Structure formats: structure tokens, C-alpha cells
């Protein structure tokens, strides 16, 4: 006697219990605090905030803990929470030029006003496992010394009192060597889209593309950006400026009529400078690619800037054909919460559809055999002669 499997509810409850046990690990090891995650796994927190599209270190740390360190799962937790939050409105545009930069480098000039500020970076670390870190309290200042030693005269390891830090690309703009970053005064500017409120339409405008890229999976954008460097839609990029630091967020309440400061966030920005050959009607000049993320997310910001520039091929009248220039391809596949859902949903039962395929393949095999037999039947009398 066959009884169909029942008890899905019990199985689910059991799975949740096992998951909690696995997440906690050996109870003899002290439990990790969300404050420890926030303070000591900052780059993980920054990635979760950026791709989760919510600036909240505490919640990101909680999500990482709950997700047992699975960052895409943590990003998903943050997104699902974010979508339930009430919306008060949009902040004023960030004034990134006024950033209190802790890191600021330009690859296009030897020195720039405000200086090259190395700040906290892995760039010149030697990738040698530091076993002293295994012991609590080990090797605290070691890496800092290494940084300073490698910096050289022109580079500060600490910005100290703030020098004014004009944007590097503004220098090029003042010579007319690079496209404007803002629409000329008097142009009709359509309202900025919001990908969390409206489904994306293709072709998409740059505001929608940038929003999608900002939430996009770091690994995906990294691969896409990398592909442009290897020749699949080359854009001749130079890192005009990368800055990381704190900016003030302002919000204008309708009833006040003027903006008020509501807080400060850490962001990373990358402005890429790319060659543009010009057209019959336009002089050659430099063009821009732009990347921005919450926290210290340099790899993401650089990748995003590369992909942003590649996706502008249509606007700039460039020949397009490489994967990173394919707007629908890039925008439709960059979101890791969507991607992981659809890829992983293959785990769900599909036996009804599979049954349909089984039936068809069996029938087609039977027909194949019957046809073979019929052929042999026809061949037989001939062979006998």
C-alpha cells in the first residue's frame, strides 16, 4: 500500500531547527556579536548595504549573522526588510565634492589639488597570511606601518586637516576636454526614475541603468567590467578619481521648504575617464563612467563605472556588440537576489513537468524503434533474394 508523503510542515520546522544549529556552530565557541561583525567585517557589511540598497550598518551586520555569512542571503534579508519601510521621500542629491575623504586617489595625474590620499587600502599589502591575527589582539599596527612605508612623499597616509579637494575631472572639464556631467542649464531634465517603484523598460535611461548597477552583484559587474578590458567592447578607461569618505545627507521636508541635514553616510565613488573618438559632428573628447556604493566598496565602484560607460555606447553612437554593451543582458542579469532565486528554484519540485517530458521522450523512443523495425522489415525480403 502506497501512501503519498505528507508532513511538509513538520519537515520545514525541522529544517529551520537544523539551520539554526548549524548557524550557531559549536556552542563552546562564543557567539559572534553583530557589533563585532559591523566593526571587524566591515567590507562584508558594506557590500550587504550596497547591494541590499539600505544604509544601516547594524541591520546589515544582523543580516550577515542570520545568514551565517552568506552575503547574498544577507542582501536578500535586507532587501525584503527595506521594501516594508515607509517612504518619506527622496534626499537631496549628495554633494560628493564636499566629501570628508579618507581615501582619494587619481590614476590620471601624478598629483592633484588636495593630494593623493591612500587611506585604508589593501592595495600595497603583501598577501601573506598574518598568523598573528589568529591570536587575539595580535599584529594591530603592523599593517598600518606597511602602508606608510609604501606611500612615498607625494602620498599621505592620513588626510589630517582637510585640504580642499576639487574633483579631478573638473580640471578636464574646465578645458572642455571631457563631456559635462550635468545637463546644460535650460535643458528639459526628465524626473529621475526609481527602479523600486517602476518596472524597468528598455531601452533604459542612464538614471535607471545606474540604479540597477548600484544594486547589482559585485561579482557580475566585476566580470562584465573585466571583459571590456580584455577587448569585449573596449573603452580605454582611466581611473580619474576614486574617493571614499563621509558625506552629509540632506532632506527637504515639504513643509519647511529648505533642506536639513539628516545624517552622514560613508560612500565610495569612482569616476572613470574614457576615450571618445568623436563623430562627424563632434570633436574627440573624454567621456565618463560612474560608480557609487555605500561604505568602502572600491571594487564594486570601479566595476560599475566600467559597465556604466560600456552601456552608454548607444547614447554615444558607438558600435555595440560586446556583452557589457548589451543593456538588456546586463541589466536583466545583474541582480543577485533575482538570479539566485531563479537559479536555486530548480530545487523545488518540478515532477509534474518532468512527467510530461518522460511521457514524450518514451513515446518518441517507441516511435523511433517502430520506424527502425519497419525499415528492417522492408530490408528483409531484399536480403533474402
Partner 1 sequence: MTAVQSETPRAEADSGYNFAYLDEQTKRMIRRAILKAVAIPGYQVPFASREMPMPYGWGTGGVQVTAAVIGSDDVLKVIDQGSDDTTNAVSIRSFFVRTTGVETTEKTRDATLIQTRHRVPETPLSEDQILVYQVPIPEPLRFLEPRETETRRMHALEDYGLMHVKLYEDIAHHGHIATTYAYPVKVAGRYVMDPSPTPKFDNPKMNHSPALQLFGAGREKRIYAIPPHTEVVSLDFEDHPFEVQQWDNACALCGATDSFLDEVIMDDAGKRMFVCSDSDYCEERRAAGHVGEEGVPL
**Nearest residue to 294 via CA among 259, 272, 251, 264:** 264
Binding flag, residue 360, partner 1 (CB under 8 A): yes
Question: Which one of 39-47, 102-110, 113-121, 335-343 is the stretch in contact with partner 1 (CB under 8 A)?
Answer: 335-343
Among 26, 31, 180, 198, binds partner 1 (CB under 8 A): 198
Task: Report, in Å, the least distance between residue 87 CB and partner 1.
Answer: 9
Query: Which grid cell is 385?
Result: 533474394
CB 67 within 8 A of CB 73: yes
Question: Which one of 75-83, 137-145, 164-172, 260-268 is the stretch in contact with partner 1 (CB under 8 A)?
Answer: 75-83
Among 135, 188, 280, 348, binds partner 1 (CB under 8 A): 348
Binding flag, residue 199, partner 1 (CB under 8 A): yes
Binding flag, residue 372, partner 1 (CB under 8 A): no
Query: Which grid cell is 23?
Result: 548557524
**Nearest residue to 284 via CA among 233, 236, 230:** 236
# residues near partner 1 by CB under 8 A: 50
Complex with partner 1: residue 108 or 340, whichever CB lies closer: 340
Pairing of strands 155-156, 260-276: unpaired
Q: How many other β-carbons are positioned within 10 Å of the β-carbon of residue 79?
A: 20
Task: Report, in Å, the least distance between residue 197 CB and partner 1.
Answer: 5
Query: Which grid cell is 68?
Result: 551565517
Q: DSSP 3-state assignment of 135?
A: coil
Binding flag, residue 349, partner 1 (CB under 8 A): yes
Binding flag, residue 357, partner 1 (CB under 8 A): yes
Among 19, 355, 366, 373, binds partner 1 (CB under 8 A): 355
Task: Report, in Å, the least distance between residue 375 CB and partner 1.
Answer: 15
Q: DSSP 3-state assignment of 122?
A: coil
Binding flag, residue 97, partner 1 (CB under 8 A): no
Nearest 5 degrees, angle CA 127-CA 133-CA 135?
155
Question: Which one of 113-121, 180-188, 240-248, 356-364 is the stretch in contact with partner 1 (CB under 8 A)?
Answer: 356-364
Nearest 5 degrees, angle CA 340-CA 346-CA 348?
110
Binding mask 2-41 for partner 1 (x = CB under 8 A): x-xxxxxx-xx-----------------------------
CA 271 to chain centre: 16
Is 285 exposed, middle or buried, given 0-12, 13-18 or 19+ CB atoms closer than 10 A?
A: middle
DSSP 193-255: --TTTS---SSPPHHHHHHHHHHS-HHHHHHHHHHHHTTTT---EEEEEEEEEEEEEEE--TT
Complex with partner 1: residue 282 or 359, whichever CB lies closer: 359
State which of positions 201-220 bind partner 1 (CB under 8 A). Answer: 201-203
Binding flag, residue 184, partner 1 (CB under 8 A): no
Pairing of strands 116-117, 260-276: unpaired
**What's the rounded Cα separation, in Å, for the pair 74 and 44?**
10
The residues binding partner 1 (CB under 8 A) are: 1-2, 4-9, 11-12, 76, 79-80, 82-84, 86, 196-203, 328, 332, 337-338, 340-345, 348-353, 355-360, 363-364, 367
Amino acid at each position: 500500500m502506497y501512501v503519498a508523503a505528507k508532513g511538509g510542515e513538520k519537515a520545514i520546522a525541522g529544517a529551520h531547527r537544523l539551520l539554526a544549529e548549524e548557524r550557531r556552530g559549536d556552542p563552546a565557541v562564543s557567539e559572534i556579536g553583530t557589533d563585532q561583525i559591523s566593526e571587524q567585517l566591515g567590507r562584508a557589511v558594506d557590500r550587504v548595504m550596497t547591494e541590499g540598497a539600505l544604509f544601516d550598518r547594524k541591520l546589515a551586520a544582523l543580516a550577515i549573522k542570520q545568514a551565517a555569512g552568506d552575503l547574498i542571503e544577507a542582501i536578500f534579508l535586507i532587501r525584503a526588510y527595506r521594501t516594508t519601510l515607509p517612504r518619506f521621500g527622496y534626499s537631496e542629491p549628495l554633494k560628493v565634492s564636499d566629501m570628508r575623504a579618507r581615501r582619494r586617489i587619481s590614476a590620471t595625474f601624478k598629483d592633484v589639488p588636495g593630494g593623493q590620499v591612500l587611506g585604508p587600502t589593501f592595495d600595497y599589502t603583501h598577501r601573506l597570511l598574518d598568523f598573528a591575527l589568529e591570536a587575539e589582539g595580535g599584529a594591530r599596527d603592523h599593517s598600518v606601518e606597511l602602508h606608510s612605508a609604501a606611500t612615498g612623499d607625494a602620498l599621505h597616509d592620513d588626510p589630517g586637516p582637510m585640504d580642499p579637494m576639487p574633483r579631478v575631472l573638473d580640471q578636464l572639464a574646465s578645458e572642455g576636454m571631457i563631456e559635462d556631467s550635468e545637463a546644460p542649464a535650460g535643458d528639459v531634465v526628465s524626473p529621475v526614475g526609481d527602479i523600486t517603484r517602476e518596472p524597468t523598460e528598455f531601452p533604459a535611461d542612464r538614471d535607471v541603468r545606474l540604479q540597477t548597477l548600484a544594486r547589482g552583484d559585485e561579482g557580475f559587474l566585476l566580470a562584465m567590467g573585466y571583459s571590456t578590458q580584455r577587448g569585449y567592447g573596449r573603452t580605454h578607461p582611466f581611473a580619474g578619481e576614486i574617493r571614499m569618505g563621509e558625506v552629509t545627507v540632506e532632506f527637504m521636508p515639504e513643509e519647511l521648504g529648505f533642506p536639513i541635514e539628516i545624517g552622514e553616510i560613508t560612500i565610495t565613488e569612482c569616476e572613470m575617464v574614457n576615450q571618445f573618438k568623436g563623430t562627424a559632428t563632434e570633436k574627440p573628447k573624454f567621456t565618463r563612467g560612474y560608480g557609487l556604493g555605500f561604505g568602502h566598496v572600491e571594487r564594486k565602484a570601479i566595476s560599475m563605472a566600467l559597465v556604466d560607460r560600456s552601456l552608454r555606447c548607444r547614447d554615444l553612437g558607438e558600435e555595440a556588440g560586446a556583452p557589457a554593451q548589451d543593456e538588456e543582458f546586463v541589466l536583466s542579469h545583474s541582480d543577485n537576489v533575482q538570479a539566485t532565486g531563479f537559479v536555486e528554484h530548480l530545487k523545488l519540485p518540478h515532477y509534474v513537468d518532468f512527467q510530461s517530458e518522460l511521457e514524450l521522450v518514451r513515446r518518441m523512443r517507441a516511435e523511433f524503434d517502430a520506424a527502425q523495425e519497419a525499415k528492417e522489415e522492408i530490408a528483409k525480403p531484399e536480403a533474402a533474394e
